[in-house]
Structure 1
Amino acid sequence: MKNPQNLSLRSGGAAPLVETHGLMRRDAQRGQILLHPTDFALEAGQRVVLTGASGSGKSVFLRALALLDPPDGGTLLWHGQPITRMHIPSYRRHIAYLRQRPALIDGTVEDNLRFPWSLAIYRGSAFDAARVKSLLEAAGRGSDFLARDSAELSGGEAQIVALVRVLQLDPEALLLDEPTASLDPESARTVEMLIAHWFECEGAARATVWVSHDPAQAQRVGTRHLTMQAGVLSEASNTPSPSITATGAPQ
């Protein structure tokens, strides 16, 4: 078995938002190692971008980090503490995963944005119309967008809805699994700008891990670059140029 890849880059002080020690995944049927044992730490304020060939294990790692697929070895810590079964719903709220193709419910955009507040985990919180308006404005959408039927949205519009639905919940980190891979360039940049707006408004308490197959996008959205090859995660030798801001200017 390979030695764990040490990608902590600890900056001292508080514990990382998320930290793994020897995290690994196997194919349940073939026994093939999909993710070799890996040490990794995501600090508040980091914008991590992960690149690699198709099938190299990028999504496997991100889904394991999101606790969507159970690991076959290693440990995952949240603010320095192990995550018990009862803490998983809260963890997924704060360490939010966004996939490439969003899943929307039938109804309007507003129905979709209100849906999370019907779940038990969000009991005690409520839909914040002003917060949603601000996020939609950052994506170039007015209040009339709320009345649109979700079945009539374009791919880019559907991804905006899925993203706003997550961002309104105030996550600590976004795990972004190629969220713009199937979008046109204009829609992709809108999604990038919305995420930049969220990151900047929340400040250093937030972080992103963005899986991308687009080298130009990787340069725009990340300041720490990881690569994946045959299930082995490693730090890239070159650091991407400064990431974009909510206005599209270099940071």
Structure 2
Amino acid sequence: MSHDVLLRAVDLTRRIAGRTLLDHVGLELIAGMRLGLVGPTGSGKSLLLRSLALLEPIDSGQLFWRTESVSSDRATRYRSQVIYVHQRAAGFEGTVESILRQPLQLKIHRGRSFDRDWIIDQLATVSRDATFLDQPHEQLSGGESQIVALLRAIQLSPCILLLDEPTSALDRQSARHVESIVMRWYEEKPDGRAFIWVSHDPSQADRVCDSLITMDAGQIQRLQHPTS
């Protein structure tokens, strides 16, 4: 495994209405890590992931992408490499294929083209075929919507996925499908990719993570192996 530090957070702090929601949080995400983030509801897990993805402001602290501080002029490039996946897929409109094509229209991704064959190959691992691309998004199940959200992200070849309970609303089979998509993405380049996965399911953490961080009251409490 590579020991390159992809992402480093230093003393991230967030306060709202006098409450400290992130309390000088620090962590390092090393290439090859499959990091689980666990803790009680309200402990700051989702806020931390959204802050790492630059979707929430921080009051103080710093983020580093590899060795460089994530400044405003580097934010777009950073967001193309560090992608947040919510527990419920966004309310997309249109067919599955049109939704997958949308991110490729952004300036940062203009060098990429839509690889339909690659998408179909990915779909085969979750028991879907090419006809799935023609499905209207509003007719998809929750599990299928989450599959679309993940494919929309990983087709961009990010280095890091920030997974915020992506299977919490899914049945067991759909959850396993989501896990298989993430693990296939990770295993394509295990020395250059990493993820943080928020989960309340201990058995899932055992399957997909190689270490765990426990968070409580806005602080990281400890790092451990998922089976310890």
Counterparts of residues 1-251 of structure 1 (less than 5 Å): 14=4, 16-27=5-16, 30-236=17-223, 238-241=224-227
Q: Is the 8 A contact 1:45 1:203 kept in 2?
A: yes
Residues 7-43 of structure 1: CA distance to partner in whole angstroms, max 9, x if unpaired? xxxx9964x110011111111xx12110110221000
Task: After TM superposition, give the deviation of residue 140 of structure 1 in Å.
Answer: 2.1
- The alpha-carbon deviation at position 104 of structure 1 amounts to 4.1
CA-CA distance at 1:149 after TM superposition: 0.8
Contact 1:220/1:241 (<8 A) preserved:
no
Question: Number of residues paired by the alignment?
Answer: 228
Q: What CA distance in whole angstroms lies between the structure 2 residues aligned with 1:191 and 1:72?
A: 34
Q: Is the 8 A contact 2:53 2:79 kept in 1?
A: yes
Runs of 4+ in 1 over 2 A off after TM superposition: 11-14
* Conserved 8 A contact 1:35-1:231: yes
How far apart are the structure 1 equivalents of 2:3 and 2:152?
32
Compared CA separation, residues 117 and 104, structure 1 to 2 (3 A): farther
5+ residue gaps in structure 1? 1-10, 243-251
Query: What do the CA deviations read for 1:161-198 (whole angstroms, capped 9, x no partner)?
Result: 00000010000010000000011111011101111111
* Structure 1 pair 108–12 and aligned structure 2 pair: CA distance change class (3 A): closer
Determine the structure 2 residue equivalent to 1:3: none
Which structure is richer in relative contact order (CA contacts within 8 A, separation 6 or more)?
2
Q: 1:179 is paired with a residue of what secondary structure?
A: coil
Q: Contact between 2:38 and 2:214, CA under 8 Å: does it hold in 1? A: yes
TM-score scaled by structure 2? 0.95
TM-score, length basis structure 1: 0.87
Secondary structure at the residue paired with 1:76?
strand
Work out whether residues 2 and 191 of structure 2, in 8 Å CA contact, stay in contact via their aligned partners in 1: no
C-alpha distance in 2, partners of 1:13/1:155?
Answer: 36
Indicate the percent of aligned positions where both proteins have the same amino acid: 43
Which structure 2 residue ranges, 5 or more long, are not aligned? none
